[in-house]
Amino acid sequence: MGLALHLTLAAGRSAGHAKPGTLKLPHNPPSGIHTPIPTPTTVPVTTTSTTTTIPTPTEPGGGYTLYPGRRIVAFYGAPGGGGLGVLGQNSPEAMWPKLIAQIAPYQQPTTPVIPAYELITFIAQGSPQPNGTYSARLTNQTIQQYLDVIRKHHGLLILDIQPGRGNFLADAQTLTPFLSQPDVALALDPEWQVSSTQVPGQVIGSTTADQINQVSNWLEQLTISNHLPQKLLLIHQFKASMIQNKTEVVPQTDLAIVFNMDGFGSWKAKTSSYKLLAQDPNFPLGFKLFYRQDSPLEDPAAVMALQPQPVIVEYE
């Protein structure tokens, strides 16, 4: 279905596609949030007699930038027994050793690996939700459970948005308490953004450069105002039509904007799509592998042989 990728919108297409009526999540998260203990910021604290400089928050593993020089390897999904991706096969803590085992082949002396969970925070639905968006949001408490595990192990939590008929920016803004933390990043999934007359899963959705820029402008300011290190903005794509006017996507000084090739199918089809995305040299790339749908599932050596090398490798 486009780009010579052997992709379908059947029920098993993606961990992001919830079958109609199979996932029931409360739309409105609780008003209270178990706020994580904030990492110190760089703001000098002045008392009547002394000035104390609080250390700058850093990336997981130290430093102030993600790229160049590092690679992220992540599990993708949401709670639900694995139907929404590998990350949901077990509890956040129980999945950590499995992620570390998957990371091992990607370790290189010159390129440290940051382990990550990409948690589908807004999950596209095949039926209307109370607010009419065809998308259901995880509760703050659930998100916090994943962040607690990530923070315990010094990893990165990526919050993924599948907005349905909703709006990327509006959804992202509800995640401000989490995105204000140095070890939390944001992902946009245009496949699951549809018009007011469409249903997620029945069509391949899309977004525009303008919508991406709205999010990146807001996230840039959030990063600056909270004195945070470089923050990841991951954008999923496997068809050119999924991002309209892509050449107008604007880089941001304090963001690492990465486009992630997340189609499944044969290795030839996947690499063909990856090469198409690589024609745009303005942004680094990620590459997703599917344990169930890829035929076959290629090994890490093949992934690392891609040119350019992906700065993010995800498993769904």
- Does the pLDDT value for residue 50 go beyond 60? no
Tokens of 7: 């992709």
Give the chain's domains with CATH numbers: 61-315 (3.20.20)
Least trusted range by pLDDT, from 14-18, 102-106, 155-159, 267-271: 14-18
- Does the pLDDT value for residue 47 go beyond 90? no
* Percent of the residues in the chain that have a pLDDT greater than 90, as a whole number: 71
Is residue 256 exposed (0-12), middle (13-18) or buried (19+ Cβ within 10 Å)? buried
Q: How far apart are CA 312 and CA 257, in angstroms?
A: 11
Average pLDDT over residues 3-8: 32
Contact, 38 vs 54, CB < 8 A?
Answer: no
pLDDT of residue 53: 52
- Does the pLDDT value for residue 121 go beyond 50? yes
* Percent of the residues in the chain that have a pLDDT greater than 70, as a whole number: 83
Least trusted range by pLDDT, from 55-64, 105-114, 226-235, 300-309: 55-64
- Does the pLDDT value for residue 284 go beyond 80? yes
Q: Give 58-76 as a 3 state SS string.
A: CCCCCCCCCCCCCEEEEEE
pLDDT of residue 18: 34
DSSP assignment of the chain equals --TT-----STTS-TT-PPTTT----SSPPS---PPPPPP-S-EEE-SS-EEEPPPP--TTSSS--SSS-EEEEEEE-SSTTTT-GGGGS-HHHHHHHHHHHHGGG-BTTB-EEEEEEEEEEEE-SS--TTSSSEEEPPHHHHHHHHHHHHHTT-EEEEEE--BTS-HHHHHHTTHHHHTSTTEEEEE-GGGB--TT--BTTB---EEHHHHHHHHHHHHHHHHHTT---EEEEEEESSGGGEETGGGPPP-TTEEEEEEE---S-HHHHHHHHHHHHT-TTS-EEEEE-TTTSSS---HHHHHTSSSPPSEEEE-
Beta-carbon count within 10 A of 73 CB? 24
pLDDT of residue 54: 52
pLDDT of residue 36: 36
Which one has a higher pLDDT value, 62 or 287? Answer: 287
Contact, 258 vs 285, CB < 8 A?
Answer: yes
For 63-115, what is each residue's pLDDT tens digit?
888 988 899 999 999 998 888 899 999 999 999 999 999 999 999 888 999 99
Model confidence at 28, pLDDT cuts 50, 70, 90, reads very low
For 143-152, what is each residue's pLDDT tens digit?
999 999 999 9
Tokens of 287: 């590459």
Model confidence at 122, pLDDT cuts 50, 70, 90, reads very high
Contact, 99 vs 75, CB < 8 A?
Answer: yes
For 231-261, what is each residue's pLDDT tens digit?
999 999 999 999 999 999 999 999 999 999 9
